[in-house]
């Protein structure tokens, strides 16, 4: 199957993958069943759809928007195309049968794009990417917060601002946290020369670069593949495919960069005045990101909440995979925000969605954002301490009406079901305590036994079809998962599993849940792609890696079988940064140290720039040796052998099939 290459990198920890602007359409998507139609109709009765406040806020302050919003790269390929969604998502159209009405409402709101005034001297360009880009007007220039994913989309946003508000230089860029949709587009609006020349400051929370780099490299391949599911990268843009990502419509597909900060903010209460704009920072590490900060603008009583509060329940654990976030700490930092500035704030805005105006609205908004994470934490732990495991807790936990019927805590991105499991995982890990699950069989081995015990594939498919006809889609997915893993060539099993996943997707309120289900159905019907993929370690990310990060990455690439029985040492000197290291292979493990050995088996000397060029495949070790850029003393065969032990990861590994 031909495949368009997905060229953008991965926003790990937030959780984002980049959809192809012209996704491959599945011709086999099916309509909603009567059970899905009934389930979605019930949503209309359960939630306060008559409350139009969000629609008023999402459109408030609009200054201008282009009639057509398609942003292209230098080679004329779309990196952002809202027109694909405008074809079928409009404010005056009711949710189709194949879309949960609450998710449809979320998409309608996210389609409100253009340049908006938040308050005096604060502007946002929304729906030019997954995130918002914010422009703060100083005495002479712009201070930019969170410049999107792609240089192309950030540049287009700046052009809109300059056209409507007058051209001004950018004097500073502030990254709220190290997820790609908050820094990747910076190179589209400023240059490294601007930074090196002191014209532009780049400001970020402490440890920003470390997290921005590490989260895109160590587990980048696996997270990137799963992120294809989370964001439905290959789904068509229609009412049987991609509808909304929850936080934004989708993600842009440009080649993101990384401009390294020139200054880090290290403590809550730290103040900074740039171009006449005073800012006070609140550090919130370990919340939505491992390094994150909110910002208070005392001149306008405006509160920037980064991504710590958005108009949805967020992820405590993202479906693409990441370290579990600390829901308790998250809620405590929001409470600190309330106690510090809550009584003063007249507008609250953030890096996704639309603002909230008026102190009487902001306080209850922040309280419910705080309480959605506190409730999920406390009640999950309460049930955990009663002996229930993560799966059981996710089936038992329910929100109180104050949070259940509140639009800003609905599960468009995170969900109560998977967040409660994440709390369990944070405290208890993968093992649920049942001895039968301590060393249980992996899926493929168990599947064959299940199908044999259940009377064979034909009987299982026949019985599962009866369950499907009753609308029991979760059960059908559970059963047919075994049938597919027992016989991945079975068309009947894959088709029935795809049908069940599809209906579950149509019923999902969460954008990522819908994408996961529909992407699974897509691959069951169309097969796993074998070309293209996501570039998680982009050139700027590679260049920002420290030697220690590089060697940690090499260590996870080491093939233990190939290294078995081998023992050797390599001294490496990076001459341009005066950094000296030793690599040791022993016990099928790669360890690295700053303490070099006197008689290494081989010694290598080069600049870090040369190492980066090799990593980026701009040259090879052999070519660099020939050119003199790499100097090697000792047994070259040892070094060549070491390189041959490093795995290259296949991006398109199977997920819904063995």
Chain CA centroid to CA 282, Å: 23
Q: Write the pLDDT tens digit of every residue in 316-375.
A: 999 999 889 999 999 999 999 999 999 999 999 999 999 999 999 999 999 999 999 999
Q: How far, in Å, CA of 89 to CA of 112, rounded?
A: 11
Can you give the pLDDT at residue 462?
98
Alpha helix locations (H) across 204-315? Answer: 208-214, 220-230
Can you give the pLDDT at residue 11?
33
Residue 24 has pLDDT above 70, yes or no: no
Structural domains of the chain sorted by starting position, each given as residue range(s) with its CATH number in brackets: 545-644 (3.30.1050.10)
Token pair of 536 as six digits:
């998680």
Handedness of CA 593, 595, 600, 604 (dihedral sign): positive
Can you give the pLDDT at residue 5?
33
Can you give the pLDDT at residue 27?
53
Q: Write the pLDDT tens digit of every residue in 467-486.
A: 999 999 999 999 999 999 99
Q: What are phi and psi of 293, to 5 degrees?
A: -150, 140
User: CA-based angle 111:518:465, to the nearest 5?
Assistant: 140
Give 639: exposed, middle or buried? Use CB within 10 Å, 0-12, 13-18, 19+.
buried
List of residues 6+ apart from 623 with CB closer than 8 A: none
Sheet holding 170-174, edge to edge: 62-64, 114-119, 122-126, 133-137, 142-145, 170-174, 201-205, 263-265
Contact 115, 161 (CB under 8 A): yes
The percentage of the chain sitting over the pLDDT mark of 70, rounded to a whole number, equals 95
Q: How far, in Å, CA of 130 to CA of 146, rounded?
A: 11
Can you give the pLDDT at residue 219?
87
Quickly state the pLDDT bin for 18 (edges 50, 70, 90): very low
Q: What are phi and psi of 536, to 5 degrees?
A: -85, -35
Q: Write the pLDDT tens digit of every residue in 38-81.
A: 999 999 999 999 999 999 999 999 999 999 999 999 999 999 99
Contact 133, 124 (CB under 8 A): yes
Can you give the pLDDT at residue 535?
61
Residue 12 has pLDDT above 50, yes or no: no
Alpha helix locations (H) across 73-137? Answer: 83-86, 101-110
Residue 20 has pLDDT above 70, yes or no: no
Q: How far, in Å, CA of 180 to CA of 258, rounded?
A: 9
The CA-atom distances, in angstroms, between 628 and each of 511, 606, 622, 636 are 52, 9, 10, 15
Site of tokens 């019907």: 525
* DSSP 8-state secondary structure symbol assigned to residue 181: G
Quickly state the pLDDT bin for 432 (edges 50, 70, 90): very high
Contact 60, 353 (CB under 8 A): no
Token pair of 299 as six digits:
């001149």
Can you give the pLDDT at residue 430?
95
Can you give the pLDDT at residue 338?
98
Q: Write the pLDDT tens digit of every residue in 26-49.
A: 458 999 999 999 999 999 999 999
Contact 271, 295 (CB under 8 A): no
Contact 245, 174 (CB under 8 A): no
Quickly state the pLDDT bin for 14 (edges 50, 70, 90): very low
Q: How far, in Å, CA of 569 to CA of 616, rounded?
A: 25
Residue 537 has pLDDT above 80, yes or no: no
pTM of the model: 0.94
Residue 15 has pLDDT above 50, yes or no: no
Q: How far, in Å, CA of 297 to CA of 280, rounded?
A: 7
Element (H, E) at 522: helix 511-526
Sheet holding 602-606, edge to edge: 589-593, 579-586, 568-574, 602-606, 631-634
Residue 246 has pLDDT above 90, yes or no: yes
Can you give the pLDDT at residue 214?
81
Bridge partners (DSSP) of residue 125 are 115, 133
Average pLDDT over residues 384-400: 98
Average pLDDT over residues 430-458: 97
Contact 494, 481 (CB under 8 A): no
Give me the DSSP letters along 390-442. HHHHHHH----HHHHT-GGGS-SSS-HHHHHHHHHHHHH-S--S-GGGTSPPP
Average pLDDT over residues 281-304: 98
Bridge partners (DSSP) of residue 64 are 115
């Amino acid at each position: 199957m031909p495949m368009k290459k997905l060229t953008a990198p991965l926003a790990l920890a937030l959780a984002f993958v980049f959809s192809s602007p012209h996704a491959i359409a599945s011709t086999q998507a099916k309509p909603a069943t009567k059970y899905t139609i009934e389930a979605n109709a019930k949503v209309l009765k359960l939630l306060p759809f008559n409350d139009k406040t969000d629609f008023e806020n999402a459109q408030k302050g609009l200054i201008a928007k282009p009639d057509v919003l398609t942003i292209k790269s230098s080679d004329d390929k779309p990196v952002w195309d809202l027109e694909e969604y405008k074809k079928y998502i409009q404010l005056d159209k009711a949710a189709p049968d194949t879309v949960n009405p609450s998710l449809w409402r979320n998409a309608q709101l996210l389609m409100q794009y253009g340049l908006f005034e938040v308050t005096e001297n604060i502007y946002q360009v929304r729906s030019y990417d997954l995130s918002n880009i914010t422009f703060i007007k100083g005495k002479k220039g712009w201070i930019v917060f969170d410049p999107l994913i792609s240089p192309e989309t950030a540049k287009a946003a700046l052009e809109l601002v300059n056209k409507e508000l007058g051209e001004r230089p950018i004097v500073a860029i502030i990254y709220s946290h190290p997820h790609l949709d908050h820094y990747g587009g910076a190179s589209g609006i400023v240059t490294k020369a601007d930074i090196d020349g002191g014209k532009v400051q780049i400001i970020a929370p402490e440890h920003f670069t470390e997290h921005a780099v590490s989260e895109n490299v160590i587990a980048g391949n696996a997270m990137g593949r799963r992120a294809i599911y989370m964001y439905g990268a290959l789904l068509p843009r229609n009412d049987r495919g991609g509808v909304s990502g929850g936080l934004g419509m989708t993600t842009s597909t440009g080649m993101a960069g990384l401009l390294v900060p020139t200054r880090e903010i290290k403590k809550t209460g730290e103040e900074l005045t740039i171009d006449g704009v005073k800012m006070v920072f609140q550090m919130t590490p370990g919340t939505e990101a491992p390094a994150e900060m909110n910002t208070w603008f005392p001149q306008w009583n405006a509160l920037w909440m980064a991504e710590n509060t958005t108009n949805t329940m967020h992820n405590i654990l993202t479906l693409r995979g990441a370290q579990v976030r600390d829901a308790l700490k998250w809620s405590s930092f929001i409470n600190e925000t309330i106690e510090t500035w809550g009584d003063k704030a007249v507008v609250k805005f953030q890096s996704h969605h639309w603002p909230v105006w008026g102190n009487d609205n902001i306080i209850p908004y922040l309280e419910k954002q705080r309480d959605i994470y506190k409730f999920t934490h406390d009640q999950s732990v309460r049930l955990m301490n009663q002996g229930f495991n993560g799966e059981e807790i996710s089936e038992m936990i329910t929100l109180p009406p104050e949070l259940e019927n509140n639009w800003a805590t609905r599960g468009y991105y995170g969900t109560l079901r998977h967040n409660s499991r994440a709390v369990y995982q944070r405290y208890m890990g993968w093992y649920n305590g049942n001895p039968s699950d301590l060393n249980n069989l992996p899926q493929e081995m168990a599947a064959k036994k299940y199908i044999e015990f259940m009377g064979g594939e034909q009987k299982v498919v026949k019985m599962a079809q009866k369950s499907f006809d009753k609308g029991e889609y979760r059960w059908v997915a559970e059963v047919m998962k075994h049938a597919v893993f027992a016989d991945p060539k079975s068309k009947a099993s894959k088709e029935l599993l795809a049908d069940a996943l599809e209906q579950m997707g149509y019923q999902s309120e969460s954008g990522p849940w819908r994408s996961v289900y529909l992407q699974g159905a897509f691959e069951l019907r169309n097969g796993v792609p074998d070309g293209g993929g996501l570039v998680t370690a982009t050139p700027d990310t590679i260049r920002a890696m420290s030697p220690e990060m590089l060697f940690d990455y090499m260590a996870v690439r080491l093939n233990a079988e190939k290294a078995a029985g081998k023992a050797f040492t390599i001294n490496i000197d990076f001459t341009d940064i005066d950094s000296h290291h030793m690599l040791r292979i022993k016990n099928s493990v790669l360890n690295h140290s700053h303490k070099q050995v006197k008689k290494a088996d081989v010694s290598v000397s080069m600049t870090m720039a040369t190492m980066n060029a090799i990593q980026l495949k701009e040259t090879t070790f052999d070519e660099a040796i020939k050119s003199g850029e790499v100097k090697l003393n000792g047994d070259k065969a040892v070094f060549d052998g070491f390189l041959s032990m490093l795995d290259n990861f296949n991006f398109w590994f199977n997920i819904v099939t063995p």
